[in-house]
Amino acid sequence: MSEIPTRFAATGADAAIAITRAAVNHRIGLSLSFQPGHLEPDRLARALRLSFDAEPAVGCSFRTDERRAYWQRVSDLEDSTVQVQDAIADPDASMRAFQAAEVPDEGPQAAVALFRSAQRDVLGIKVSHVLADGQSAKQYAYLLADLYTRLGQNPAYTPQPNLRARPSGRDVWANLTSKQRRAARRAKSWASPTWPTPVTADEGADLTYQWKTLSPELFRALKSYGAERGCTVNDMMLTAVLRACISRLDPPVGVPLSLMYTADLRRYLTDSATLPISNVSISGSLDIERVADESFETTLGRVHERMQRWAEMCHGAGPLASAERIAGLGYRMTERLLGLAFRAGGASGKTYPWFTNIGIIDDSKLLFDGACPESALMFGPGAVGVSIVPVISTYCDALTVCVGYGDSDANEQWIEALLHSIAEEIESAC
């Protein structure tokens, strides 16, 4: 096995996301449900340990000084283990608590838990968003499954570490044409919130999650409806979330509404299949106006047109490159600048939805020595304040909308109503 360095540079995206933890609880995870007894805890623990060698940055702590942020290799990785709980009455409740807890800066940057009940075993996997975005969280889960399988074939197996440099905003920018760079300079990342906050929302304490899964039949109907109109599943779900938030929050008509959308920039990198665990995504606002008494199909047309403009602008490439330049000012200076921006947004008394579609969870890459999850979904960051953070993932044609939020009885009812409205928008259209 190649020698693993003890320190790695953090990218501008890593540093920016670390700083925003003042407003957002940052971890990204998966829940995988299996038939009881299919997974071996000891082999899972060994796979977890080997993952820190296969993707060396995962086996690091996140550290900062006045000038820089960096990843430092953890010295006691052999102590890492899998949390196992037997005879669990409600695996979903245990999973919520596991996913809500932060991945500590002290590292490692990933954690695994196994909750075993009489009906099913539920495997929880999570990584720090400071190190990884949604696509990398899936990548890490695929790695864990592969290591678990290989250990069944050869208990002495050791992986070759992925020592390719983690990509930065500069790498994305370097791969754009001059025309794309001109377009990308017009794209902004930050937007001031413009939506009224939910009356029942608390201030984000005690993060928890709720989710709603659309049946495979409804998902296939959604795909068919979109395809007939030249639209993607992403367009459809953005439309459903936008309309559901309008129905629940009643924002003003004719005002550009800040609807944050997360763009994955891997498409601008070469050989993205071999990228190490990384952050190569960034969010920006679609700024879509509310139109009174508009049909789903008409809203969908406007969302689709806006998404096409995003593609033409290479949205996110410019702001991600800017993150690298800002980080060059020094970590403490960057922290102060971003802190000013967050305080200005928080003082407005407004909020906005923050939409992320992590896409398809590939069942063929989640075989744990032949055991395939019966169901799967993904968890995203949760806002400390009153932002609305729907995360979309799809497994075996079952699409799930998962929302992280601050726990309170009133807020729980509001989130349930929002999830119901999102599903209702899809059902009524399809």
- List the chain domain ranges: 7-153, 169-429
334 burial (CB, 10 Å; 0-12 / 13-18 / 19+) is buried
- Among all chains, which residue has been given the structure tokens 């020698």? 3
Q: What is the mean pLDDT of the chain?
A: 90
- Residue 206: pLDDT band with limits 50, 70, 90: confident
- Which ranges of 110-253 would DSSP assign to H, the alpha helix? 134-153, 169-174, 178-184, 216-228, 233-249
Q: Over the stretch 132-156, which tens digit does the pLDDT of each residue have?
A: 999 999 999 999 999 999 999 999 9
Q: Do the bridges between strand 121-127 and strand 256-257 make them parallel or antiparallel, or are there none, so unpaired?
A: unpaired
Beta bridge partners of 33: 122, 375
Q: Which helix (H) or strand (E) holds 428?
A: helix 409-429
Of the given ranges (75-79, 189-193, 407-411), which has the lowest mean pLDDT?
407-411
Report d(CA 224, CA 222) in Å as an integer: 5
Geometric angle at alpha carbon 365, from 270 and 59, rounded to 5°: 70
Which pLDDT belongs to residue 81?
93
7-153 CATH pick, 3.30.870.10, 3.30.930.10, 2.30.110.10, 3.30.559.10? 3.30.559.10
3-state secondary structure of 427: helix
Q: Torsion-angle region of residue 37: left (phi > 0), alpha (psi -120 to 50) or beta?
A: left
Which CATH number applies to 169-429?
3.30.559.30
Q: Are 209 and 404 in contact (CB under 8 A)?
A: yes
Most confident of 219-223, 256-260, 383-387: 219-223
Higher pLDDT, 57 or 345: 57
Whether 7-153 and 169-429 share one fold: the answer is yes
Which H or E run includes 49?
helix 41-54
- Is pLDDT of 351 > 90? no
Pick the closest to residue 259 from 320, 208, 312, 307 (CA basis): 307
Tell me which DSSP letter residue 374 carries.
S
User: For residue 357, which of 313, 312, 400, 307 has the smallest C-alpha distance?
Assistant: 400
| CB-CB neighbours of 292 under 10 Å | 7
Cis before 108 (ω within 30): yes
Write the pLDDT tens digit of every residue in 71-129: 999 999 998 899 999 999 999 999 999 999 989 999 999 999 999 999 999 999 999 99
Residue 52 and residue 73: Cα distance in Å, rounded?
9
What is the pTM for the complete model shown? 0.94
